[in-house]
Chain A
């Protein structure tokens, strides 16, 4: 599964905007979460550390 993932078109893994370590991350609205707690935007998680993990099902 992981081996295949590296072959996918880059377009599918492009970020919304280039961010750099040390900069503030702009707000972002996510699609409805499975397992969420009703919050949908990055700004609503202010005050808590957030790990965003990009992965694939193929």
Chain B
């Protein structure tokens, strides 16, 4: 765990995604409380689950490294082979940066799409390719990446993370450049943040972020009182629901409390 959190802190900006899956049956509230108490600096994607698409194991910790193209590259105890894991991650991050594939076109498109996060640039490179299977495959990757980014904005809003959603929408608008079809779809997403509802959600999220900041500073004991005060002002917002969930988590006892 600590090594995964450390890797993620160092390498997520270069494209690494680290998913921590709790497999001992904790519910969401227990997991959230445990993470804030034990690993307040954790920024890995973290969830509860009893099933993950990895080979069987006799116990934990157990991890898998999945390459940029979705291939399982390694699985095992991450404490047993830390160097191997680090080398594989570095190898795959080079692919993110430089692109990968059998042709120069594929490498250029993927470097733009995944390395530079430049949807418009990737789309222009694909458009310039000769028609055929290779072009169709890369076009599908560009389309999937765009659809995923757009959906992510809505998901973050639904999860009460409006500041993150706004940042994601701004990044998306920047990434789609001047491509009219995409600009026409992304611009309304950004406009939502200027609506009355959007303003209320953003205002509430700014208050909640102060509580989250205090949690990252290990001020766990102060958070419930701050959340109770916050909930008197958030009304029926998505952010309010998230604050309520966080309060419930922090009130969930851990065995060693």
Contacts and interface: CB of A to CB of B under 8 A. Distances in A.
B47 A54 contact: no
A48 B114 contact: yes
B54 A38 contact: no
B4 interface: yes
B44 interface: yes
A44 B148 contact: yes
A53 B88 CA distance: 15
Nearest to B45: A33
Contact of B113 (A34, A38, A47): A47
B30 A57 contact: yes
Interface stretch (B61-69, B173-181, B217-225, B226-234): B61-69
Interface stretch (B123-131, B149-157, B192-200, B201-209): B149-157
Given A19-B72, A21-B74, A49-B89, A13 B62 contact: yes
Contact of A51 (B19, B70, B156): B19
A29 B92 CA distance: 22
Contacts of B187: none
B59 A13 contact: yes
A45 B24 CA distance: 25
B25 A47 contact: no
Contacts of A32: 28, 47, 159
Interface in A3-22: 5-6, 8, 10-22
A21 B55 contact: yes
A30 B65 contact: no
A31 B140 CA distance: 26
Nearest to B44: A35
Given A28-B53, A46-B144, A51-B85, A38 B72 contact: no
A49 B16 CA distance: 5
Given A25-B71, A57-B26, A49 B47 contact: no
A19 B75 CA distance: 9
Contacts of B96: 47-49
B145 A36 contact: no
Contacts of A16: 51-53
Contacts of B186: none
Contacts of B114: 47-48
A25 B53 contact: yes
Contact of A56 (B22, B44, B58): B22
20 contacts: A5-B61, A19-B53, A19-B75, A20-B72, A25-B64, A25-B70, A32-B28, A36-B159, A46-B70, A49-B66, A50-B16, A50-B65, A50-B66, A51-B17, A51-B85, A53-B20, A57-B22, A57-B24, A58-B24, A58-B255
| In the A-B complex, the 5 residue pairs with the closest CB atoms | A38-B152, A56-B24, A49-B92, A47-B114, A16-B51
Interface of B: 1, 4, 7-8, 15-26, 28, 30-32, 34-35, 42-75, 78, 85, 88-89, 92-93, 96, 110, 113-114, 141, 144-145, 148, 151-156, 159, 164-165, 168, 254-255
